[in-house]
Amino acid sequence: MRYSGFNTASVQRNLVISLIVSAAISNSLIIFSGEDRVVFSNWTINAAAAIALGISLLITWRQKLGGLYGKTYAAFTIGLALWFVAEMLWTYYELGQGIEEPFPSLADAFWLAGYGPFAYHLFMTFRFFGKVSKKHLFIASLGAAIFLAQLTGIILSTAESTDTMALAISIAYPVLDAVLIVPAIAVLASLWRGRLTFTPWVLLSSAILITAVADSGFAYYTAAGLDGMWVWDLFYNTSYMMAAATLFWHNRFFVFDEKRVKKVWQQENR
């Protein structure tokens, strides 16, 4: 079918290039910052989280709270706000208080609370779009369950720490990530062929997968008492950037912009 609307292919290309370049630059700041790494990693991640939260707030303000997208994107914004508070608290503990690995801490309460709104966003979207793909949901659930079972086994077998609370929180993150991955992949399977829906769902699913890898790595390093935790910051940073790219796409293609529509109309009728 002929399509003469927004150039989705060009936006997709530019978005991916921008994402790769900005991830490369910001992750390089973390990698090559040497002794100042703790400062750079904190503020790089905070900046990425703030950008994602900013776009999300803009979407919520522009599209209001009506309909599926109104509700699910408001929930996404709440989730990002909670995670942003958690990031700021982590920075405060690390840079302000000088605590090397502030884990577990109050920040974890905000991170864990953020999973609720994110789950709402994904499950509501799955309930709307995903009912045609029960097979995909089953495959995704099975994959997540296997992933989770293996991870829990590894963590428990290497744990040197006797802090049950820290261990429980370490395990909670990958478990909750697995819970998010299931509907994300199921929705992606449903919207895979859509010109408007492919890019944001590939990005969002990848962001959740990257977060899951980072959380699993973090949990493993914490339990095993390993050094070099900063490696996982690269993953968290990239994940926030991918979430921001997803939100950018939604803002561009799913939120009505009268001015832009007028501009396209004027260009066509010149």
* Residue 261 interacting with another protein (CB under 8 A): yes
Stretch that binds another protein, among 95-103, 148-156, 161-169, 182-190 (CB under 8 A): 182-190
Neighbours of 174 (CB within 10 A): 26
C-beta separation of 249 from 242 below 8 A: no
CA angle, residues 180, 109, 54, in degrees to nearest 5: 65
Per-residue exposure over 241-261, b if at least 16 CB sit within 10 Å of its own CB, e if not: bbbbbbbbbbbbbebeeeeee
Q: One symbol per residue from 123 to 142: x for binding another protein (CB under 8 A), - otherwise; what is it?
A: -----xx-xxx---------
| Contact pick of 1, 96, 227, 259 for another protein (by CB under 8 A) | 1
* Residue 153 interacting with another protein (CB under 8 A): no
* Residue 86 interacting with another protein (CB under 8 A): no
- Cα–Cα distances in Å, from 14 out to 58, 225, 248? 21, 41, 12
Rg of the chain in Å (alpha carbons): 20
Neighbours of 34 (CB within 10 A): 7
| Contact pick of 38, 46, 50, 70 for another protein (by CB under 8 A) | 70
C-beta separation of 184 from 201 below 8 A: yes
User: Which H/E stretch holds residue 101?
Assistant: none
* Least distance between another protein and beta carbon 207 (Å): 19
| Contact pick of 69, 84, 115, 248 for another protein (by CB under 8 A) | 69
* Residue 10 interacting with another protein (CB under 8 A): no
* Residue 267 interacting with another protein (CB under 8 A): no
* Residue 193 interacting with another protein (CB under 8 A): yes
Q: Which residues make up the interface to another protein (CB under 8 A)?
A: 1-6, 62-64, 66-70, 128-129, 131-133, 187, 189-198, 253-257, 261
